A and B are shown apart, each in its own frame.
Chain A
Amino acid sequence: MDVLFLLIPLSVVLALAILGALAWAVWRGQFEAVDAEGERILRSD
């Protein structure tokens, strides 16, 4: 079970990275008008 000593700290780093990505999304305003964000993929470019 020694691999846990690698995996668990890795999971901590991963969780922090996800939080960083969420922060980026929140501060760019992506959670404010969720309908428009969903339609963004329909853009032709």
Chain B
Amino acid sequence: MQAAHALPLASAVPGRDGASDAEVPVDDPDRFGRPLPDASGRWESYLAIEGMYCPACTLAIEQCLAPLPGVHEVQVSGATATARVVWSPERGEPAQWLRALRLAGYAGAPAGDQLAEAPRRREQRMLLWRWLVAGFCMMQVMMYAWPAYVAEPGDLAPDVAALLRWASWLLTLPVVLFSCQPFFASAWRDLRALRIGMDVPVALGIAIAFGASTAASWSAQEAAGEVWYDSVTMFVFFLLSGRLLEQRLRDRTAGALQGLLRRLPQRAERLRPDGATEQVAVHRLAAGDRVRVRAGESFPADGRVLEGETEVDEALLTGESTPAPRGPGAAVIAGSHNLVGSVVVQVERVGADTQYAQIAALMERASVDKPRLARLADRIASPFLLAVLLAAAGAAWWWWPQGADHAIGVAVAVLIVTCPCALALATPAATLATAGALARRGILVRRPEALEAAAGVDTVVFDKTGTLTTDRMTVVATRVRPGVEPAQALAWAAALGRHSLHPGSRAVAAAAGELAAGWRTTDVRERAGQGVEGGVACDGGAARVLRLGSAAFCSAAPVAGDGAQVHLADGAGWLASFDLDETLRPDAAGSVAALHRAGARLRVLSGDRQAAVHRLAGRAGIADAWGDRTPQDKLDTVRALQASGHRVAMVGDGLNDGPVLAQADVSVAMGQAVPVAQARCDFIVPGGQLGALPLLLRQARRTRAVIRQNLAWSAGYNAVCVPLAVLGWMPPWLAGLGMAASSLVVVINAARLARLPEAS
């Protein structure tokens, strides 16, 4: 279909405000469309649609696009906000659709990632269809089996009975050949690898039951053996129901995050140096570009606002859609929504460097991470299944003298009733549901294993700066050594402070602004918990070695005043002090109260002065506050707490408390001081909301309870049902019901975790 590349895709598209943009080349047509596999010459293309707020919009968009020339079919999905268009290249072009959409009030853009979604969607539809086939055939086969169950001996004429069996066989055939394909394929794969997977007993049970029933139906004997068509179809239906529910649950939890992340737009309006604008695909943006983002659009990359004022919705980070104001100089993140006004943004990070991409990568890694219990369950599964196969063979051999029918029935029941899949599902279902629910509230789970540890936490240790307080501080006063200009000291301090992410350094750098522009630094080194040291010189001048940091680091005498302070020193000793003002996070008091109600003991450890720490902690409601702690002190405190039997959760900004966070049982990083990709903590709260902590504890406890319930249920179920089946007290239909019910119970129990209690 090479000729299709000559698609006339470039045409003038009227802009939102009526002005006509220049030619809009829709580059890379292959990225959002492809020829249909049949030889009809038609293409299918996907559009991502912005501005859909209600289900009625799907109908409106279908009505808008369907009458256009060349369009054969339009399918709009409200859930994913995409439209699939089947069209003929000779008679129409995508630019027309975009124009029609704009006139209707929506914004459309090519959706290349939908092409990658197509296999997943196909898989979902296949599973749904298999399930429907199994369901309808099951109902029909049960009707056919009904007479044989209720008839008195002699009532049912043999030829009618044979007819019913023939019809049952015919309708069970699609179920076994088509609906069971996943089980047979998986069992075959396992057997080829010389391993007994969970689908092997299932596949064997189905094959034996169907084979024996077929033999009994087609035999020439008068009193043919028993048939189990109804059991087989019912069993397959229930099994597929379990799989369908599991798939829906996985889509809902991973998909909830996908929904948040889907806000990354496909195109952006870039400002050229000469002032003209051009539409480019977002993957073509580079750091340093300037883009205009209008109200109602999403930001295409991480950056800083240059012109304009607006409010943004950063639900991506905080889990809440409250609008936050952003003016010139403020940072914006890719994927967040621009709500109010048009702004010009300087792009700083694109593609895989954006917070959005890092969060997505983190969630993907966490979702395939297998917690300890799940690995244990996997290890037990194989020998357990081997035991089940042996038990089935043994039971068949034992019951054979009493009738081949009965023996086969018992063997099939044993094979079917066991459900190690419930054991394997017990933990992952719960952790996946919880991780998704927490992600929607702005808490990222980096290590799902930590959920187990978080359930047992009884002590929470807070850092102060950046954790209890917002990570923005301001300089309120400057004191200098006699003979030094305050502005000069501020400029030097800012030159050093530029290199550090500590809130105090950032505050100083922000206060100095342009003053520090002319100063160069050399050989800058940062000591965690203490400060920054380096040489500062203006162009051509001699460098003087300065230190910026805590009082001890800068040999400063303790000065009166409660607030946080940052000091400057040079070779001759103390040079300047900057008093900083910090604000407690607004939800601190409420979160502390909630943690107390949850039974946790709280403590604050900080490197700042004792009086300041005590005062701030008091405002938050924490009585146990310690200042002047070095990193080693903090580490020792945590170790001592653990030695006396407590489980400690450490909450910090992830930057300065590395060793302490690693030592604690559970570590939580607040705010955006550390890029998500480099964080080494168990949980990350990029939005910095302290309310996440009581929520996390509560949810971790619920998760632990659900996991225990699931494990107890699956172990108990197997322990009770396998002996019952071996003893012959379990007909195959009951075995099928039990098996499916067992995994359904586990999945539904885990789904309870996906609903979080309302924010208190």
Query: 8 Å CB contacts to A: which residues of B27-59?
Result: 55-56, 58-59
Assess whether B163 is interfacial by the CB under 8 Å rule.
Answer: yes
Chain A residue at minimal CB-CB distance from B127: A26
Query: 8 Å CB contacts to B: which residues of A1-45?
Result: 1, 4-5, 8-9, 11-12, 15, 18-19, 22-23, 26-29, 31-33, 35-36, 39-40, 43, 45
Alpha-carbon separation in the docked complex, A18 to B63 (Å):
29
Chain A min CB distance to B639 (Å): 54
Q: Of the 9-residue stretches B75-83, B459-467, B559-567, which lies at the interface with chain A? A: B75-83
Q: Which residues of A contact B163 (CB under 8 A)?
A: 4-5, 8
Chain B residue at minimal CB-CB distance from A38: B55
Chain A min CB distance to B70 (Å): 20
Alpha-carbon separation in the docked complex, A44 to B76 (Å):
18
Chain A residue at minimal CB-CB distance from B75: A29
Which A residues lie at the B interface, using CB under 8 A? 1, 4-5, 8-9, 11-12, 15, 18-19, 22-23, 26-29, 31-33, 35-36, 39-40, 43, 45
B55 touches A15 (CB 8 A): no
Q: Which residues of B contact A15 (CB under 8 A)?
A: 136-137, 140, 171
B59 touches A11 (CB 8 A): no
Chain A residue at minimal CB-CB distance from B56: A39
Known interface pairs A12-B171, A35-B78; 12 further A-B residue pairs with C-beta atoms within 8 A, sorted by A's residue number: A8-B144, A11-B140, A11-B167, A12-B140, A12-B167, A18-B136, A22-B129, A29-B125, A32-B79, A33-B55, A33-B58, A35-B55
Q: Which residues of B contact A9 (CB under 8 A)?
A: 167
Q: Which residues of A contact B125 (CB under 8 A)?
A: 26-27, 29, 31
A36 touches B167 (CB 8 A): no
Q: Assuming the A-B contacts A12-B171, A18-B136, are A4 and B160 also in contact, with contact meaning beta carbons closer than 8 angstroms in the complex?
A: yes
Q: Which residues of A contact B157 (CB under 8 A)?
A: 1
Q: Which residues of A contact B140 (CB under 8 A)?
A: 11-12, 15
Alpha-carbon separation in the docked complex, A13 to B174 (Å):
13
Chain A min CB distance to B121 (Å): 8
Give the contacting residue for A22; candidates B59, B136, B171; CB below 8 A: B136
B167 touches A8 (CB 8 A): yes
A32 touches B77 (CB 8 A): yes
Q: Which residues of B contact A35 (CB under 8 A)?
A: 55, 78
Chain B residue at minimal CB-CB distance from A4: B160
Chain B residue at minimal CB-CB distance from A9: B167
Interface centre among A11, A15, A31, by most B CB within 10 Å? Answer: A15
Assess whether B164 is interfacial by the CB under 8 Å rule.
Answer: yes
11 A-B pairs within 8 Å (CB atoms) are namely A8-B163, A12-B140, A12-B167, A12-B170, A22-B132, A23-B132, A31-B125, A33-B77, A35-B78, A39-B55, A43-B63
Assess whether B741 is interfacial by the CB under 8 Å rule.
Answer: no
Chain A residue at minimal CB-CB distance from B59: A43
Q: Which residues of A contact B129 (CB under 8 A)?
A: 22-23, 26-27
Q: Which residues of A contact B76 (CB under 8 A)?
A: 36
Which B residues lie at the A interface, using CB under 8 A? 55-56, 58-59, 63, 75-79, 84, 125, 128-129, 132-133, 136-137, 140, 144, 157, 160, 163-164, 167, 170-171, 174
B132 touches A39 (CB 8 A): no
B128 touches A26 (CB 8 A): yes
Alpha-carbon separation in the docked complex, A16 to B731 (Å):
29
Q: Which residues of B contact A4 (CB under 8 A)?
A: 160, 163
Alpha-carbon separation in the docked complex, A4 to B167 (Å):
11
B174 touches A19 (CB 8 A): yes
Chain A residue at minimal CB-CB distance from B137: A15
Alpha-carbon separation in the docked complex, A21 to B132 (Å):
11
Closest 9 CB pairs of A and B: A36-B58, A35-B55, A36-B55, A33-B78, A15-B140, A26-B129, A22-B132, A8-B167, A36-B78
Chain A min CB distance to B157 (Å): 7
Chain B min CB distance to A24 (Å): 10
Alpha-carbon separation in the docked complex, A29 to B73 (Å):
12
Q: Which residues of A contact B58 (CB under 8 A)?
A: 33, 36
Alpha-carbon separation in the docked complex, A9 to B132 (Å):
21
Q: Which residues of A contact B56 (CB under 8 A)?
A: 36, 39
A8 touches B77 (CB 8 A): no
B132 touches A26 (CB 8 A): yes
Alpha-carbon separation in the docked complex, A32 to B137 (Å):
23
B136 touches A1 (CB 8 A): no
Q: Which residues of B contact A18 (CB under 8 A)?
A: 136
Alpha-carbon separation in the docked complex, A26 to B126 (Å):
9
Chain B min CB distance to A17 (Å): 11
Chain A min CB distance to B277 (Å): 35
Alpha-carbon separation in the docked complex, A6 to B63 (Å):
46
Alpha-carbon separation in the docked complex, A5 to B77 (Å):
46
Chain A residue at minimal CB-CB distance from B144: A8
Alpha-carbon separation in the docked complex, A11 to B12 (Å):
58
Chain B min CB distance to A45 (Å): 8
A31 touches B128 (CB 8 A): yes
Q: Which residues of A contact B160 (CB under 8 A)?
A: 1, 4
Alpha-carbon separation in the docked complex, A40 to B333 (Å):
38
B137 touches A8 (CB 8 A): no
Chain A residue at minimal CB-CB distance from B156: A1
Alpha-carbon separation in the docked complex, A15 to B135 (Å):
11
Chain A min CB distance to B739 (Å): 25
Chain A min CB distance to B320 (Å): 25
Chain B min CB distance to A6 (Å): 11
Q: Which residues of B contact A31 (CB under 8 A)?
A: 125, 128
Chain B residue at minimal CB-CB distance from A43: B59
B128 touches A33 (CB 8 A): no
Alpha-carbon separation in the docked complex, A45 to B59 (Å):
11
Q: Which residues of A contact B170 (CB under 8 A)?
A: 12
Q: Assuming the A-B contacts A5-B163, A9-B167, A19-B174, are A36 and B75 also in contact, with contact meaning beta carbons closer than 8 angstroms in the complex?
A: no
Alpha-carbon separation in the docked complex, A29 to B164 (Å):
35
Q: Which residues of B contact A43 (CB under 8 A)?
A: 59, 63
Chain B residue at minimal CB-CB distance from A14: B140
Chain A min CB distance to B72 (Å): 13
Alpha-carbon separation in the docked complex, A6 to B84 (Å):
44
Alpha-carbon separation in the docked complex, A31 to B614 (Å):
59
Chain A min CB distance to B52 (Å): 10
Q: Which residues of A contact B84 (CB under 8 A)?
A: 29
Alpha-carbon separation in the docked complex, A13 to B310 (Å):
63
Alpha-carbon separation in the docked complex, A36 to B75 (Å):
11
Alpha-carbon separation in the docked complex, A26 to B136 (Å):
14
Q: Which residues of B contact A28 (CB under 8 A)?
A: 75
Alpha-carbon separation in the docked complex, A19 to B140 (Å):
12
Alpha-carbon separation in the docked complex, A40 to B76 (Å):
12
B77 touches A29 (CB 8 A): yes
Alpha-carbon separation in the docked complex, A32 to B125 (Å):
9
Q: Assuming the A-B contacts A1-B157, A32-B79, are A19 and B136 also in contact, with contact meaning beta carbons closer than 8 angstroms in the complex?
A: yes
B171 touches A39 (CB 8 A): no
Chain A min CB distance to B155 (Å): 11
Chain B residue at minimal CB-CB distance from A22: B132
A36 touches B132 (CB 8 A): no
